Amino acid sequence: MALVRNKEDTARVFHIYDALPSRHFWPHAHKLALSEHGQSLREREPFLPPVLDDHEALRNLPKGSVGQAYCHFMEEEGLTASGLVQAAEEMGRPKYGDLIEWYGWRQRDTHDLLHVLTGYGRDALGEACNLLFTHGHAPSHAHLLLGYSAAINIRRKVKTRAPVLKAVREAHRSGASVPAPASFHIGDLLRMNIDEARQMLGIERPHAYHACHEVWQDERIDPYDLLAAAA
């Protein structure tokens, strides 16, 4: 799979999700979008990227807040929420301006925020774990395909003692009882202390994932360049 070889090929990600639509998406979208809470979210946050990309405001949040951690993560990785929007729009999908589209955008735009909340990085294993964790509140065959394919590819190609499969299974299991960040007021979530936010959401420390990174440090393997390690 080309995406397994290059996890940064975002366009392929969107194509895979289009090819494997989730039967859970519409019911979840209707449940949130048609609720009073959903109406409140639309009024307060009609579109998330301007909120998430206002790094000056995020830096001024209290020390230890979700917003500060998110800002640091995005700047360190060279990412923006608007960049993900641009990648999605390059597919040329029609725009409808309806509630289903609004819900889908919130799921898309909170992907990197979930990285921060879970502690999964943007290395190949971290992306796989983040997708499988997401499957808990947004069930999708695409999450399963991408997450487990990446893990199996690492396991097959990289000579390592790291518990790669244990890490993705832990992520899949851990995400099952965690509510979707997209269903929360993101502005409020960004202002929360990150440890308190994780406790509220029921997000536990990803022990197996961190164990993989510890092993790779001992083995002098760069988790962001696993294919080089395989070569």
What pLDDT is stored for residue 3 in this prediction?
46
Average pLDDT, the chain: 91
Mean pLDDT, residues 52-77 taken together: 98
What pLDDT is stored for residue 29 in this prediction?
94
CA separation for the pair 54, 199 (Å, rounded):
25
pLDDT of residue 7 exceeding 60, the answer is no
Mean pLDDT is lowest, of 77-81, 214-218, 223-227, for: 223-227
What pLDDT is stored for residue 81 in this prediction?
97
Is residue 93 very low, low, confident or very high in pLDDT (cuts 50, 70, 90)?
Answer: confident
Would you tell me how many other CB atoms lie within 10 Å of the CB of residue 192?
20
pLDDT of residue 95 exceeding 80, the answer is yes
In angstroms, the Cα distances linking 99 to 31, 47, 85, 104 are 11, 12, 17, 9
Higher-confidence residue: 191 or 6? 191
90, with CB counted inside 10 A (0-12, 13-18, 19+), is: exposed
pLDDT digits (tens, 9 = 90+) for 170-218: 999 999 999 999 999 999 999 999 999 999 999 999 999 999 999 999 9
What pLDDT is stored for residue 18 in this prediction?
74
What pLDDT is stored for residue 227 in this prediction?
65
What pLDDT is stored for residue 12 in this prediction?
66
What pLDDT is stored for residue 87 in this prediction?
86
Secondary structure of the chain in HEC code, one letter for each residue = CHHHHCCCCHHHHHHHHHHCCCCCHHHHHHHHHCCHHHHHHHHHCCCCHHHHCCHHHHHCCCCCEHHHHHHHHHHHHCCCHHHHHHHHHCCCCCCCCCHHHHHHHHHHHCHHHHHHHHCCCCCHHHHHHHHHHHCCCCCCHHHHHHHHHHHHHHHHHCCCCCCHHHHHHHHHHHHHHCCCHHHCCHHHHHHCEHHHHHHHHCCCCCHHHHHHHHHHHHHCCCHHHHHHHHC
CA separation for the pair 214, 221 (Å, rounded):
10
98, with CB counted inside 10 A (0-12, 13-18, 19+), is: exposed
Domain boundaries, the chain: 2-230
Higher-confidence residue: 5 or 157? 157
Mean pLDDT is lowest, of 12-21, 80-89, 138-147, for: 12-21
pLDDT of residue 219 exceeding 90, the answer is yes
Say how many Å lie between the first and final Cα of the chain, rounded. Answer: 18
What pLDDT is stored for residue 26 in this prediction?
92
Mean pLDDT, residues 104-132 taken together: 97
What pLDDT is stored for residue 20 in this prediction?
74
